[in-house]
Amino acid sequence: MLEKLFSITDVGIIRTVRILGMKFEFLNSIEFAKNVFRTIRSTTVLDYLPKLYIPVAEHCNDNCYGCWTFSTLAKEEFYDIKTFEQDINRLSELTSLTSEGGGGATPYTGEVTLAGGEPLLNPNIISFFELSRRAFPDPSVKIVLITNGLLLLKQKAPFFKAVLDNNITISPTKYPDMDWNKIEQYVESFGVTLQYSTDMGFQSGPVSNKNERVSGKMPLHLDGKCSLTPFDSYSRCGLSNGACSVMRNGKLYPCSIIAGIRHFNSHFNQNLPVSSHDYMDIYKVANCKEILEYMAKPHPFCKYCNVAGRVASFGEYRKTTHSISEWTT
Ligand code: SF4
Ligand code: SF4
């Protein structure tokens, strides 16, 4: 009854108020301000890459709902260690270029994250630590191992020695139903302290009030006919502008969605295309400035992302059923 007399509806930046059958439309100033902020954040060319993720294993030993890296759909696949060595050294080289836009004395990235899938599935993980730190000896570059923690209790002394020797930060995402006290005590017996992803100011998904991971959804439009333009999707996207850039096999992808979509395509027999404008070849770019300018622009693939339809949190952690609906509108 009350709804018939008075209602407020928000669609985008327009707020519609209905009073006794009369309709008034206003600019929703909070939503408008958020849009302005998001657009500035996503299109400002940064002077460094905030995050660089390197999937050293594409697949995973966990089964999270709607995995953002599509690792629950991926077949077993590791980053080849020789290719990795070349690629990480190339990134280091780009850092040290002193030409305009080169990194010079300032590392171009604050953080290199060995990720997945689940990186601890990679049997060469110690070599990845060593090569990463050799390429980025500056201790101001944080080298992080992000993990679901399922294999931490299986790691032995040489693993933890390599963590300490190479100044690696182990950053688990706190998944529910795991004995984190036991895991903490075990790694601390080797002199290593965990830094949960939430403690580090980021996490690979929303969390509950116990700082445990909960599930959300990042749907795709299969036909690419998003109601938003690529620019609108991009400017609203929290993964844009270097927040989630991914390096794999000589290529730098703007986000984990573009980097991992091949697993989705292959598993569900789809063809969401990744064009040559959706990534950079790290052997063709001249300097960091080119990378940073590229990251601050929308990408053709953004038209497949239903950013407006994203669900930040279901309020609970869910397992996948491998249904395509977990990734689609
Ligand atoms: S969200 Fe992380 S832990 Fe979960 S399936 Fe994906 S890669 Fe694995
Ligand atoms: S492709 Fe999607 S996730 Fe990636 S930057 Fe564009 S809108 Fe964001």
Nearest Cα to Cα of residue 246 among 91, 38, 95, 92: 91
From atom 1 of ligand 1, which residue's Cα is the shortest distance away? 67
More confident: 198 or 105: 198
pLDDT digits (tens, 9 = 90+) for 270-310: 999 999 999 999 999 998 889 999 999 999 999 999 998 89
The CB-side HSE value for 164 (13 A sphere, CA atoms) comes to 12
Mutate to test the pocket of ligand 2, among 239, 262, 264, 303 (most ligand atoms within 8 A of CB): 239
Q: Is the pLDDT of residue 317 over 70?
A: yes
Q: Which range in 7-21, 60-74, 86-100, 303-317 is most confidently predicted, on average pLDDT? A: 60-74
Residue 233 near residue 219 (C-beta atoms within 8 A): no
Instruction: From the CA of 115, give the closest atom in ligand 1.
Output: 7
Ligand 2 centroid–CA 257 distance in Å is 7
What pLDDT, on the 0 to 100 scale, is given for residue 183? 98
> Taking the CA of residue 303 as centre, how many other CA atoms within 13 Å lie in the half-sphere pointing to its CB?
10
C-alpha distances out from residue 250 to 121, 135, 260, 302, Å = 22, 15, 15, 22
What single DSSP character describes residue 313? -
Measured distance CA(154)–CA(163) in Å, rounded: 15
Torsion, Cα of 92, 95, 98, 101 (10° steps): 150
Beta bridge partner(s), residue 22: 19
d(CA 87, CA 251): 9
Q: Is 117 in the pocket of ligand 1 (CB under 6 A)?
A: yes
pTM value is 0.89
Given this model, what pLDDT does residue 208 score?
A: 66
Q: What average pLDDT does the segment 16-31 reach?
A: 82
User: What is the average pLDDT value for the chain, to the nearest integer?
Assistant: 89
Q: Which residue's CA is the nearest one to ligand 2's atom 1?
A: 302
Residue 218 CB less than 6 A away from ligand 2: no
CB-CB contact of 247 with 259 (8 Å): no
**Residue 227 reports pLDDT greater than 80:** no
| Cβ atoms of 62 and 215 closer than 8 Å | no
Please tell me if the CB atom of residue 72 comes closer than 6 angstroms to any atom of ligand 1: yes
CB atoms within 10 A of CB 129: 20
Q: Does the CB atom of residue 118 touch ligand 1 within 6 A? A: yes
Supply 242's token pair: 């270097």
The predicted-structure confidence for 43-73, as pLDDT tens digits, reads as follows 999 887 878 999 999 999 999 999 999 999 9
Secondary structure class of 7 (helix, strand, coil): strand
Ligand 2 neighbour 241 (Cβ under 6 A): no
| Share of residues in the chain with pLDDT > 90 (%) | 66
> pLDDT tens digits for 133-173?
999 998 888 999 999 999 999 999 999 999 999 999 999 99
Mean pLDDT of the 124-129 span: 98
Which of the ligands is closest to the CA of residue 68? 1
Among 67, 114, 197, 213, which residue has the most ligand 1 atoms within 8 Å of its CB, making it the best to mutate?
67
- The whole-number average pLDDT for the span 240-268 is 96
What are the start-end ranges of the H helices in 6-124?
Answer: 29-43, 81-96
Nearest to 313 by CA among 177, 199, 178, 203: 203
For the cut 90, the answer to whether the pLDDT of residue 107 exceeds it is no
Concatenated DSSP letters of 208-253: -TTS-B---B--B-TTS--SS-HHHHHHH-TTTTTTSEEEETTEEE
Going by DSSP bridges, is the β-strand pair 168-172/14-19 parallel, antiparallel, or unpaired? Answer: unpaired
